[in-house]
Amino acid sequence: MPNALAHFGIQGVLTRSVIPSADPKLIFLGCVLPDVPWILQRVVLGLVPGIDPYTLRLYVIVQASLFMTLLLCGAFACLSRTPGPIFGILAVSAVLHLGLDALQIKWANGVHFFAPISWELFNVGWFWPESWPTYLLTGFGLGYVVWSWKTAVHVKPYCLPLSFRKNSLCLSLVVVYMVLPLVFLDGPLIANNHFVNTLKTSSERIGRPVEFDRKLYLKSSNGDVVKGFGEDFHVRGQTLNHQSTVSIRGRFVELDTIEFLDVHEHDPWFRNGSSYIGLLALVGMWAMAGWRYYQSSDREKPLE
């Protein structure tokens, strides 16, 4: 995926061209929702080190699909007095997010627009995350966040004040969002999304192609390795002379050894750093808007 700032800028302009009155805070929230599963995956792997990484990846693949993301959009929209328009803003932003993701080159990766009907990954693959289109989008996104800051913090948070009925409906959709992926795990497994099927059936790996997206490449005295899904895979072929974050295409020549056929190095800081700045800006917008609301004297009655 592009970083959060890259999403904020282009999606802010496109969404407001369709919905001119859209609150920037909502647009930026919609930009983040498709990435919630990937963020939670990092948290789970950090807190539950013994979890099966392949099952977790299948779960996250399902949860990151368009139809599941729209469920999460609906959960947030339920907190509003006008759920229809709010859902529209969040949904447009989520669809644009996935569309932008599909434009970048991501080996062993892509987006699911038509799941659960089809689990084939869609990826156009026009440019790498570290290339001039992404740099332009990131710079534009940072400028757009600064330009829209005043508007965002002065618009009342759409989900305030809260009510028991609205909160209950929101919670119900969140529960569905968390549980429903378990029903569809076989879909991405059979389609070999992210090469999980290849990796999971370890006894049948030899000779099969494999790809990784943004994995850590390490130098060691016992031979170079690439870390993926909780395993260390030895490498042959286009080895590097330094540690790096890489995307690779290759094939298994042994059960734990991959021959590199193609390798691409990623900047380890640019995408993550730009995303952290974007997420901090989003949190800051909502916090300041909430603070202004609670300090105001015209707070509305609770939602019914």
Do 211 and 224 contact (CB within 8 A), yes or no?
A: no
Percentage of the chain exceeding pLDDT 90: 81
Q: What tokens were used for 55?
A: 């099952």
- Confidence at residue 301, expressed as pLDDT on a 0 to 100 scale: 46
Q: What is the tens place of the pLDDT at every residue in 147-169?
A: 999 999 998 887 766 788 888 99
Backbone angle region of 21, left / alpha / beta, with phi > 0 → left and psi within -120 to 50 → alpha: alpha
Positive/negative CA dihedral, 141, 144, 146, 151: negative
- Confidence at residue 292, expressed as pLDDT on a 0 to 100 scale: 87
Do 178 and 46 contact (CB within 8 A), yes or no?
A: no
pLDDT band at 303 (very low <50, low <70, confident <90, very high): very low
Q: What is the tens place of the pLDDT at every residue in 31-75?
A: 999 999 999 999 999 899 889 999 999 999 999 999 999 999 999
Q: What tokens were used for 90?
A: 């969040």
- Confidence at residue 94, expressed as pLDDT on a 0 to 100 scale: 95
- Write a three-state SS string for 177-223: HHHHHHHHCHHHHHCCHHHHHHHHCHHHCCCCEEEEEEEEEECCCCC
Q: What tokens were used for 171?
A: 């919670």
For residues 212 and 155, give the distance between their C-alpha atoms in angstroms, rounded to a whole number: 42
For residues 284 and 132, give the distance between their C-alpha atoms in angstroms, rounded to a whole number: 28
CA-based nearest residue to 22, from 89, 91, 82: 89
Q: What tokens were used for 82?
A: 């006008």
CA-based nearest residue to 104, from 264, 294, 235: 264
Q: What is the pTM of this model?
A: 0.92
Domains with residue ranges and CATH for the chain: 4-189+268-295 (no CATH), 195-266 (2.40.50.140)
CB-based contacts of 30: which residues, under 8 Å, 6+ apart? 11, 15, 73, 89, 90, 91, 92, 93, 94, 97
β-strands 231-237, 209-218: how paired?
Answer: unpaired
Q: What is the tens place of the pLDDT at every residue in 247-291?
A: 999 999 999 999 999 999 999 889 999 999 999 999 999 999 989
CB-based contacts of 205: which residues, under 8 Å, 6+ apart? 198, 199, 252, 255
Please state, rounded to an integer, the average pLDDT across all residues of the chain. Answer: 92
